[in-house]
Structure 1
Amino acid sequence: MKKLFSILILVLIVSCAIKQKGDDGAPGKSSEKITVKAEDIKTSMEYLASDELQGRATGSRGIEKAAVYIENYFKRNGIKPYFESYRDSFMLNDIVGYNVVGMIEGTDDKLKDEFIILGGHYDHIGKGKVVEGDSIANGANDDASGTIAAMEFGRYFSKSKTNKRSILITLYSAEEMGLKGSAHLAKRLNEAGLNAYTMINFEMIGVPRSKEESMAYMSGYNRSNFAPILNKYAGEEVVGFFPKAKEFQLFYRSDNYPFFKEFNMPAHAISTFDFTNFDYYHHVDDEADKMDYIHMTNFVNKMIPALEGMMNSPTKEVVLNEQ
């Protein structure tokens, strides 16, 4: 009887130890495997780029529905508001615009005071040139794709808790009106004294590039060492150099630029659209059924270890280059 009692005590001790550890035995790590799935990306895309949202023009009923969808996604996945609510509102003449901002707190007592900003613009142009009776410019690639990528990164890090630095998921309106939403938010965050380290804007990542090219490219590639650092942690060249980016002035044309201006920090846009691989820029045929969901899923999954490495390095590895 005494021997049986000893065995029971041992079993209890072992089971308690297993509960306190993850599958790999690491204390505090969740045993739940966090995955980014193509079907989840497709579900978000089929709503955000649906006719119901009428092209998501800033100030429209459609963009209000998009904002509510994003807010509910944040709530469902434990992404907290950074401000008193998820909305960062501003006025453009008589139009009310609002960015949607969520936060994932870092896990390191010191590094969590430094912020990584991930973003994309969730507005689009509303109506476009009529083609076969269709006038709704749904904006699937531009930029529901980048918006969804940022949302998926938010979900992943909120669940995995593998970010030592804190993260802001920032989704902008009024990009199509001249980067007005991101300019408002960048100014507000700077004036509030946010300790911002880096910023990445995801812009049109819904279609793959040629197999001979890197999966994605970064605007303003030579302005910092951001791309090499990300590729180091990814273990491959996920983010490459696009020669025409400078010719097209892409660094200044996307929502990274206001953050660069306000914070003078590494702030870039990452894209997989290179003006040769998608014919429907600002076109009514920029629709959900033309997106490559396997490509989008691969892009997000390849970027996760790249972001983790940068978020968790003990020092600020990413720096601006001398121009």
Structure 2
Amino acid sequence: MRSRPLHRRRTLTTVLLLAAGSVALTACGGAAASGGNRVGAAAPGRKPTINIGPDQHRIHGVKDPRSAALVPARVRRAGFLRIGVGAESSPPLSFYATDDKTLIGFEEDLATLVADTLGLEPRFDPLSWENLFVGLDSGKLDAVFANVTVTEERKEKYDFATYRRDQLAMEAKKGSGWKVRGAADVAGKTIAVGTGTNQEKILVDWSRENEKAGREPVDIKYFQKPSDTYPALQSGRIDGFFGPNPTAAYHVHTAGQTEITGTFSGGGDRVQGKIAATTRKDSGLVKAYAAALQKVIDDGRYGKVLARWGLTGERLRTSRINPPGLPGTGG
């Protein structure tokens, strides 16, 4: 995920959502989204709808004394968690509601659950990708919930408590007939990707593999905003867009102009990537986050939030602290 501050500026994806009102969403793993305070239950045979308005009726947690006891005294005294989320509109992970100012999405819902479980108030700060880490480094933020992948390099500076599998997707124009399983399938193709991400590294590796095998390399294009990427995809200037599976699945089912042609682990063939709550190393908060996440996993609230945003296929059974990460910086 790459991002820049938007404040109230709408991206193409947000405009599509506003036009749709209450939109349909299918889970990334193929199952329909279900449960969790949806607005309007689906009729038989129809896709369920989700609420993209400012009044979210979020699923809330209950304070767990054991988890709360792990919170450092300075944070308990403050009574709130300063949580960084991405400023770029990336539904269903984090985006603006129909009032164009209220932050909603899976990341906000899960962070709220964690804060509730720790007996703290969540205070969200939407920041560009780079500034999320600046915020952690400076002590401005207590946590980041922004589709951050655990990597070995990041573990040198940050602590992680995992909460979702990292899945990637190749998105192409609807009806392309293109199936992507590996390097050979992208030879000679023009593909958009965000810089400094897991998917960029995989794409670069595939391109090198193709060249070694005597095939054409990948023509990699760098796009940072959906409002630039999707018009390029529709016009044929690029063949595909390689990005996070949740945002790709959401766009496919709201815009109806594209299709997913392949899904992959965020670690490629090396290791299953994990998305995690991120905090400054040795801040004293990671054990509290992991305990709170495990609590909501066990009591079922986590599953309801995943289902609400169509992410059931990326669920974890255990929140782990600083598990083996991907090589490189990741995305």
TM-score if structure 2 supplies the norm length?
0.29
Q: Select the structure that is richer in helix.
A: 1
TM-score if structure 1 supplies the norm length?
0.30
Larger Rg: 1
